[in-house]
Every structure is written in structure tokens, then in C-alpha cells.
């Protein structure tokens, strides 16, 4: 084991590609991620069956050599009829503890040519592992797409979402922390209390959405040194974010 940890965060759009639609998604995911040699992948919009299983993860885990899984399906799928969607954490190292939260749903609504759109549940999934003899929390977070409902991310109606995120993370047992998040906004200032309380800092400075907005990030604690950071587009409408980190002595 080296002293560096490679972490990838990615919203995989329920495994429905926007590029190379004829390519098997498990192979596309492997091709996009494997060259980065990740130790952990934190994913959003992971596809699940109605029973909570994920054939995609079943196929991908052995391809990437990441045998340890935590998952949290919590909402209807947007791109797969009858399916479910949620979060997943895949790791080379064993998970020793799990913590999850269903965030407050602001019940946003928007009517358009395609009918009425309503906000579905979003959540957070965190796992604790041991790395270089120390505990480490790694999480996957997905917030609502405020813009689809004509809302600003600081609208009072969505304030409980930010409060839920902040309170949950601040309550985690003290340990170095890595948060891979699709925040659906560039407004990192809305994490103010969280950034002050856990001294987290964002690693991603580039655009990660199809319109070039930096809506995805990997937030890291002060106990971690950032050695490398990459943003690259694959089959999804979000870019994957990858960091290489080292625990400080």
C-alpha cells in the first residue's frame, strides 16, 4: 500500500450514456475510470432495480478491482423506466462503518411542455475505512437540481437541504474527511458553516457539467495534502473528478 489515496467522484447519469450510446455502459465506465487507478469511487445517480440491486455495479466492481461496496437507492430513476437511483461507494479497502441520510425534500415543482416535474429525494452516503493505519470518512452527496425548477440555490425553500447536509457532516466522528458531491451549483459559499466547522476546501476548479459549470466537487479536510486533481469527460453528462491525496503525518 502506498501512502497516497486516489479518489474519483462521478455522477454517472443512471448508466445512460450521452456519448457512444451503443457502447455497453459497464465497459464505458471501466474505460473512463480504470486509467486513474482509483482506490475509491463515490458515485451519484447510480442505477438500481426496484429491489435495490445494481447489475451495473456487479459488473463494474471486478473490472476495477474494487470489491467493497456501500449503496443507498432512494428515489425513482429519471432515465430508466421502473428503476431506482441513488448513491454508491466502491473501495479497494474494506468499509468499517456506514452513515447515510435522506435530505429534506423541498417538494419543488415546475410545469413545462413535457408535463409537471417534481423534485425527488436526494441524500448522502458516507463510509469509514482504514488507510495507512488511520480512520478516514469518504462520502457521496447529491443535491437537488435547483435550476430545473427555476430556483436559486440560496432560495429559502431549499435552506433545509443545506442545513441537513451541514449538520450531518459536522456530526460525523472526528477523522479526515473526503466529500464527493454533485452540488448542482457553483455556490460554494452556501457551505459556509461546513467549511468553517470542518475546515473543508474544494479541490475542483474546472467546469464539470455539460454547460461548463463547476457543479461537482471533491471537498477535503485539512489533514489531507492534495497532490493531483483531474477533471475529464466520459459517457455521462457530468465530468468525473479525480484527486490524489496523502494523509499528513
Task: Tell me the H-state helices in 102-224.
Answer: 159-170, 192-198
Phi, psi values for residue 169, rounded to 5°: -70, -40
Tell me if 132 sits within 8 A of 247, measured CB to CB.
Answer: yes
**pLDDT tens digits along 97-153:** 999 999 999 888 877 666 677 888 999 999 999 999 999 999 999 999 888 888 899
**pLDDT over 70, % of the chain:** 96
181: nearest Cα among 59, 173, 195: 195
Say how far apart CA 99 and CA 141 lie, in whole Å: 12
Choose among 212, 223, 230: nearest CA to 246.
223
Q: Which three cell numbers stand for residue 229?
A: 486533481
Phi and psi angles of residue 187, each rounded to the nearest 5 degrees, phi first: -80, 80
Query: For residue 209, what is the enclosing H or E element?
Result: none
Distance CA 166, CA 182 (A): 15
Rounded to whole angstroms, the Cα distance separating 234 from 187 reads: 24
- State the greatest distance between any 2 C-alpha atoms of the chain, in Å, as a whole number: 56
Instruction: Give yes or no for a contact between 125 and 140, defined as CB atoms under 8 angstroms apart.
Output: yes
Q: Is 138 helix (H, G, I), strand (E, B) or coil?
A: strand
Residue 208 has pLDDT above 90, yes or no: yes
Q: Report how many domains make up the chain.
A: 1
Domain of residue 121 covers 4-247
CATH number for position 154: 3.60.10.10
Residues 61-93: tens digit of each pLDDT: 999 999 999 999 999 998 888 899 999 999 999
Q: What is the pLDDT of residues 159-202, one digit of tens each?
A: 999 999 999 998 999 999 999 999 999 999 898 776 676 779 99
User: Which pLDDT belongs to residue 20?
Assistant: 72
pLDDT for 120: 86
In whole angstroms, give the CA distance from residue 219 to residue 188: 10
Residue 11 pLDDT: 97
Contacts of 172 (CB under 8 A, 6+ apart): 99, 126, 137
Q: Residue 42 above 80 pLDDT?
A: yes
The reply to whether the predicted model has a pTM over 0.75 is yes
Residue 87's region, left for phi above 0, alpha for psi from -120 to 50, else beta, is: beta
Amino acid at each position: 500500500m502506498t501512502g497516497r489515496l486516489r479518489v474519483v467522484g462521478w455522477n454517472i447519469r443512471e448508466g445512460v450514456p450521452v456519448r457512444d450510446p451503443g457502447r455497453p455502459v459497464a465497459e464505458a465506465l471501466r474505460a473512463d475510470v480504470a486509467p486513474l487507478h482509483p482506490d475509491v469511487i463515490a458515485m451519484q445517480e447510480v442505477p438500481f432495480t426496484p429491489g435495490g440491486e445494481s447489475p451495473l455495479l456487479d459488473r463494474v466492481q471486478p473490472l476495477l478491482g474494487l470489491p467493497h461496496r456501500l449503496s443507498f437507492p432512494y428515489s425513482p430513476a429519471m432515465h430508466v423506466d421502473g428503476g431506482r437511483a441513488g448513491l454508491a461507494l466502491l473501495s479497494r479497502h474494506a468499509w468499517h462503518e456506514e452513515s447515510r441520510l435522506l435530505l429534506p425534500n423541498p417538494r419543488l415543482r415546475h410545469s413545462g411542455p413535457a408535463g409537471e416535474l417534481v423534485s425527488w429525494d436526494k441524500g448522502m452516503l458516507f463510509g469509514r475505512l482504514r488507510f495507512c493505519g488511520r480512520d478516514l470518512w469518504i462520502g457521496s452527496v447529491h443535491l437537488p437540481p435547483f435550476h430545473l425548477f427555476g430556483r436559486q440555490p440560496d432560495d429559502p425553500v431549499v435552506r433545509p437541504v443545506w442545513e441537513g447536509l451541514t449538520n450531518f457532516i459536522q456530526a460525523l466522528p472526528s477523522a479526515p474527511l473526503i466529500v464527493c458531491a454533485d452540488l448542482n451549483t457553483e455556490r460554494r459559499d452556501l457551505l459556509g458553516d461546513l467549511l468553517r466547522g470542518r475546515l473543508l476546501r474544494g479541490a475542483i476548479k474546472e467546469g464539470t457539467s455539460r454547460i461548463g459549470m463547476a457543479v461537482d466537487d471533491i471537498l477535503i479536510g485539512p489533514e489531507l495534502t492534495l497532490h493531483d486533481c483531474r477533471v475529464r469527460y466520459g459517457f455521462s453528462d457530468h465530468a468525473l473528478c479525480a484527486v490524489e491525496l496523502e494523509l499528513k503525518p
